[in-house]
Amino acid sequence: MGELLLNMLKLLNIKPGLQDEDLFPDQPGFKDFLAAQDMEYEKKNYQKASDLYEKACKAGHPLAQANYALWFLEGSRKGYKKNFRKAFELFEKSAEKGVGLSLYNLAHFYQTGKGGVVKQDPFKAFSLVKKSLKDYRTDKIRNGDPYWMLGTMYLQGEGTCMNRKKAQQHFEKARQFGHKAATTDFMKMTNLLAQLSGADKQHETDSKWDTMCAWLDKHPEEKGKDGVTTMRNHLKILNKFGFDIYGKLTEKELEMKGGFDKFMEVSGGQMYELDEYEMQDVPTVRVCSNCSKPGAKKRCAKCGEAYCDKKCQKADWTSHRKICQIVRDNIS
């Protein structure tokens, strides 16, 4: 079985070194899977290979499903055109067994909306590509695609919070696995990341986010019952602390209700920091920090916290002073 094993590894872009048990020999369809490999690589009989793959896939062999899906993803076999929907369905079945290659390809479908098979969902893409790395086979992927994808998602804040440090770590990992772009552009990417951020900038962003979370802990009513409020209110809170989303939500979307995860889904999952001049024009949450009544018109002179009057400000000072300095340091 040695030659067949090497052929299978080549197809999956996996370095030699897997043992027989890595091929799911205990799963139904294993013999048909190996026979399909023989027909595909040794005898070049793609029709027969296809018949055997179909049989193995129907039996539920996860690597047969992953291999056969590549035929329809790439259209690389003579007589077999690209069929993204069929590829997606096969990857889905294979992913149920935790095959990293399939999880990665599903992530790519959700990241790009490839072929219109599924709607773009950066959060699902991020979750799937992270899961792909839990499969020990994925550590042997040569080209480092999953690491490159994670790097770009961390860099752009796509499906997750922007984190340039993690982006650089994943680009480095992709380079170690020989990813073409990571290898040729690594120094350029490293210099760009250094110019864009640096530890101070990332720390500043993290601190700003932590401040917002601390403020929300102090004002749970702003998040709504069980964290459910309108998309408009989620956006106002983000704006208050110097964050915004790309694009604009419609009035209908703004009035939708849900938790913050729903807000990120509706808004497309990407945020950026507002410049100071932009922050001057955004609406703020005008609710008294002491009595929670709406329409508060007074502000703490140091941090801008809203109050009905001096009486409310004084009554709130014991708890307010704990975050006043943090707010001044990070968002003023």
Residue 247 amino acid letter: G
Confidence class for position 89, pLDDT limits 50, 70, 90: very high
- Written as six digits, the tokens of 92 are 């889905």
Stretch among 22-26, 177-181, 213-217 having the lowest mean pLDDT: 213-217
HSE, side-chain direction, 13 A CA sphere, residue 33: 25
Q: Which domains does the chain have, with CATH numbers?
A: 2-141 (1.25.40.10), 143-195 (no CATH), 197-283 (no CATH), 286-332 (no CATH)
Would the pLDDT of 5 be above 80?
Answer: no
pLDDT tens digit sequence for 209-251: 766 776 777 777 777 777 788 999 888 888 877 788 877 888 9
First vs last Cα of the chain: how many Å apart? 67
pLDDT at 35: 92
Is 200 or 43 the better-scoring residue by pLDDT?
43
pLDDT attached to residue 18? 38
For residue range 249-280, list pLDDT tens digits in order. Answer: 889 999 999 888 788 888 876 666 665 434 44
Question: What pLDDT score does 49 carry?
Answer: 94
Amino acid 105: pLDDT: 93
Give phi and psi for 197, each to the nearest 5: -130, -85
pLDDT at 144 over 60: yes
State the pLDDT at residue 95. 93
- In the structure encoding, which two tokens stand for residue 225, read together? 């019952």
Q: Residue 91: what pLDDT? A: 96
pLDDT value for 323: 58
- Tell me what the mean pLDDT of segment 180-204 comes to: 59
